[in-house]
Amino acid sequence: MVVHRPHHVPNNKLDGVATNQADKSSSAKVGSISSWKYFQDGKAKVSQEMIEALDSKKHSATWKVVEGELLDDYKSFKFIL
């Protein structure tokens, strides 16, 4: 869901996630960028991530944060699901 339908994430009532806006491409692919609005400690924040890798055999995706408040606290930020 997070890779192929990221706009469904806010519908799943995840704490702190408000909205998602994917880039104009219809499917997730390496290089796709999406923006997230979320809340941390009661403050609205924004993060923009780029898909770095997709592995269909392992059913995983790797994202790299390219813009947003996370980069105020970290030099780089990457996550794998």
On whether the 6-80 domain is CATH 2.40.128.20, my answer is no
- Res 53: pLDDT: 93
Q: How many CB atoms lie within 10 A of CB 21?
A: 12
Strand order in the sheet with 78-80: 17-22, 33-40, 43-55, 60-68, 78-80
Q: Please say whether the beta carbons of 66 and 33 come within 8 A.
A: yes
pLDDT tens digits for 34-77?
A: 888 888 888 888 889 899 998 888 888 899 999 999 899 899 99
pLDDT at 2 over 50: no
